[in-house]
Amino acid sequence: MKKIMNAPDSFVAESLEGFVRAHEATVMFGGGRKFIRRRDLVPGKVAIISGGGAGHEPLHSGFIGRGMLDAACTGHVFSSPTPDQIVAAMDETDTGAGCLLVVKNYDGDVMNFEMAAEMAAARHAVETVIVEDDAATGPSVRGRGRRGVAGTVVFEKLIGAAAERGADLAALKALGDDLNGRVRSMGVALRGVTVPNNTRETFSLGPDEMEIGVGIHGEPGLHRTPLAGADEIVRLLGERILAELPATVEDVTRQWPLLLVNGFGGTPPIELYLAQGIAHRFFEQHGIVPARALTGTFVTSLDMAGLSLTLALLNTDQFELWCAPVATPCLSW
């Protein structure tokens, strides 16, 4: 796939540069350009720090600002940021209440954030929330927890809102851990992804094929099938989400369901909204009436065509955190 870029080596840095220029009232580069941070830090608030490989934009930098993240560390395309970047972000944004790290569950990310937390342990109180929402990779499939995918937006929004209201590090950690029992995502690809320094797609789909259960790094999915209509696609994703919802959410009818339809980068709004309508009906027919919906391009896999559904079954306090005001470049209400 063709890309708007100058060269693979400068692709990520040039994009981050443009991002900061576009949103300079809200965000700025941290020291040494190792991360992007919120411009106006709040003394005494727990610093919420996330990050990961590039290629998932607007995640994570797009969610820096009031009511969400304080800093985001970006690695190369689909590669973890280094511990050095993460420590620098902690040093610059911890205003005294400690740091909460929000980390998608991939070996490289988990290892580097863990290493950073150890390196900074003498200077900072640190807790880590690992996001594990991908219904395609249950413990049974993968053996080391689910991947973190589009549900990360829900984690960052709720944890960020709680921090803004003054929640302490322990409460934020508990909130994040609780969300892993409430948030499930499932994705489909219509076209694979090409990383900038390769010429071939990581997986290649025929003109009448789709791939169910894909990740956000060009990981192949659970199975490949003939391209189906939108109703059938939503049913395949939705049924897997329902099957993988944990038993910890006992009374679904007392929850506040949140439904996110997320585009993977190459999927236009007209298709995302179409899927939103169908998914809304699908879950309603299963007794889950979405209390809020979010539709758009939030967690991408470069320019992959396809989308994911995320269902979050929030309790009343959590739903209020979702609805709380947020002022970031890419999520704002």
Smallest gap from residue 217 Cβ to a second copy (A)? 14
Q: 23-31: long-range contacts (C-beta < 8 A, 24 or more apart)?
A: 23/329, 26/64, 26/65, 26/327, 26/328, 26/329, 27/61, 27/64, 27/65, 27/329, 30/71, 30/88, 30/89, 30/92, 30/93, 31/88, 31/92
Annotated active-site residue 217? The verdict is yes
Output the smallest distance, CB 308 to a second copy, in A: 12
Is 280 tagged catalytic? no
Nearer residue to a second copy within complex by CB, 58 or 67: 58
Task: Give whichever of 47 and 154 is closer to a second copy, judged by the CB atom.
Answer: 154
Which one-letter DSSP state was computed for residue 287? T
Query: What whole-number distance in Å separates Cα of residue 23 and Cα of residue 237?
Result: 35
Catalytic option among 23, 60, 124, 217: 217
| Least spacing, CB of residue 263 vs a second copy, in Å | 9
Q: Given the rule CB under 8 A, which residues bind a second copy?
A: 1-7, 11-12, 14-19, 21-23, 54-55, 57-58, 62, 190-191, 207-208, 210, 227, 229-231, 233, 261, 265-278, 280, 293-297, 300, 302-303, 305-307, 327, 330, 332-333
Q: Decide whether 7 or 247 has the Cβ nearer to a second copy.
A: 7
Enter the tokens of residue 23: 């949103």
Ramachandran region of residue 309, left (φ > 0), alpha (ψ -120 to 50) or beta?
Answer: beta
CB of 5 or CB of 111, closer to a second copy: 5
87-to-61, 261, 283 alpha-carbon distances in Å: 17, 33, 42
Angle at 241 between CA 329 and CA 328, to 5 degrees: 5
Q: Considering the complex, what minimum distance in angstroms separates the CB of residue 25 from a second copy?
A: 9
Q: Which of 23, 56, 60, 124 is catalytic?
A: 56
Active site residues: 56, 217
